[in-house]
């Protein structure tokens, strides 16, 4: 357990991984450690490839999805790579382990009409929480930022004069996202309400009602509550608004590389999933409009 914690500290303080990612790594490594102790009475640095494959089979038998399994393998891969580099082990047992080919699913998304109703027609309270909630929803949909990025935003990151937002993304990679006038107006109203109702000098842009820094569970709750009013999609998380932005922009003719830069993807491969969404939409339109479509 001590070696796991040292590795997690390395991810947090040197690699600057998000708290969400670190929690995932910790969960995966502890789960694997518990398995090899119970099944083999072994230790992390005495693990063999056979043991890892056995763990993989146990996860598959317990209905672990391919995507989750690959994430767990990625956690092990990074851990043993770190251990080998720092002379904690002489052999990397992950070298012969290959990730399972996962089924690529088309991300579900909210329609443009649903977002227009939520942001332009739904009434929000004029107090701090109402102004904050609308500003958060607008921030997710207008910029496509991740949950961890939103929580980390500082007031100084919003440049009202240049109409842009500075975002610190994964691996401490900074990107600049343009801001719309309507979005800036919502942010101005939120900041005005915040100054009038709150005695907090925190530099973070979004806060709780008591003036503390936002936490993921609260943001999930805020987004889920409002999305439940306008859409029937199963997933009602902050990430679904990121999907919605990318899909709506692509459908309206935006360049895929531009969407990649806005979302902060390191590779165009990650962004290309949205072309599949558009392809499905094109099929639906074709079937509905073609004389022989039915």
Fold exhibited by the domain 2-85: DNA polymerase; domain 1 (1.10.150)
Per the annotation, the verdict on 215 as an active-site residue is no
Annotation says 20 is catalytic: no
Of 102, 140, 291, 113, which Cα lies nearest the Cα of 222? Answer: 140
Q: Give the pLDDT mean for 69-95.
A: 95
Identical topology for domains 2-85 and 112-288: no
Distance, CA of 269 to chain centre: 16
Name the strands in the sheet holding 158-159, side by side, starting at the edge strand that comes first in the sequence: 158-159, 164-168, 174-178
The confidence band for 34, taking pLDDT boundaries of 50, 70 and 90, is very high
- The mean of the pLDDT values for the chain is 89
C-beta contacts of 9-12 below 8 A and 24+ residues apart: 10/82, 11/78
Q: Tell me whether residue 274 is one of the annotated catalytic residues.
A: yes
Query: Among residues 170, 188, 248, 281, which one is catalytic?
Result: 170
Q: Is 194 a catalytic residue?
A: no
State which fold the 112-288 domain adopts. Answer: hpI Integrase; Chain A (1.10.443)
Domain ranges of the chain: 2-85, 112-288
Catalytic residue, chosen from 146, 183, 194, 236, is 146
**pLDDT number for residue 256:** 87
Q: Which of 72, 132, 194, 265 is catalytic?
A: 265
H-helix segments, the chain: 2-13, 19-40, 49-61, 66-85, 112-116, 128-143, 147-152, 181-197, 216-227, 238-251, 256-263, 268-271, 273-289
Q: Which of 80, 141, 190, 274 is catalytic?
A: 274
| Mean predicted confidence (pLDDT) in 136-161 | 96
First to last CA, the chain: 61
170 catalytically annotated: yes
Catalytic, out of 72, 132, 194, 242: 242
**Per-position b or e across 116-154, b if 16+ CB within 10 A of its CB:** eebbeeeebeeebeebbbbbbbbbbbbbbbbbbbbbbbe
pLDDT tens digit sequence for 88-141? 999 999 999 998 876 655 556 789 999 999 999 999 999 999 999 999 999 999
Asked which of 47-61, 75-89, 167-181, 275-289 is least confident by mean pLDDT, the reply is 275-289
């Amino acid at each position: 357990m001590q070696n796991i914690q040292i590795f997690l500290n390395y991810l947090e303080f040197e690699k600057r991984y998000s708290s969400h990612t670190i929690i995932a790594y910790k969960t995966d490594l502890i789960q694997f450690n518990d398995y090899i102790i119970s099944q083999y009475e072994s230790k992390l640095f005495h693990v063999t490839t056979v043991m890892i494959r056995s763990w993989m089979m146990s996860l598959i038998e317990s209905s672990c999805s391919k995507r989750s399994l690959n994430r767990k393998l990625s956690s092990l891969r990074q851990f043993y790579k770190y251990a080998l580099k720092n002379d904690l082990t002489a052999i990397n047992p992950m070298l012969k382990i290959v990730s399972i080919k996962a089924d690529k699913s088309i991300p579900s998304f909210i329609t443009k009409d649903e977002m227009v109703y939520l942001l332009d027609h739904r009434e929000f309270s004029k107090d701090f929480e109402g102004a904050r909630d609308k500003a958060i929803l607008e921030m997710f949909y207008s910029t496509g930022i991740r949950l961890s990025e939103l929580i980390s935003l500082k007031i100084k990151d919003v440049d009202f004069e240049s109409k842009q937002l500075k975002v610190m993304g994964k691996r401490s990679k900074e990107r600049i996202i343009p801001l719309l006038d309507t979005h800036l107006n919502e942010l101005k109203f939120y900041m005005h309400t915040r100054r009038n109702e709150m005695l907090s000098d925190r530099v973070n842009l979004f806060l709780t009602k008591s003036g503390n820094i936002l936490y993921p569970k609260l943001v999930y709750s805020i987004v889920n509550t409002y999305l439940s009013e306008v859409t029937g999609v199963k997933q009602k998380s902050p990430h679904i608004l990121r999907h919605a932005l990318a899909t709506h922009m692509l459908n309206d003719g935006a360049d895929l590389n531009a969407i990649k830069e806005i979302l902060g993807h390191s590779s165009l491969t990650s962004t290309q999933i949205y072309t599949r969404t558009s392809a499905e939409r094109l099929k639906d339109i074709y079937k509905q409009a073609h004389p022989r479509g039915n």
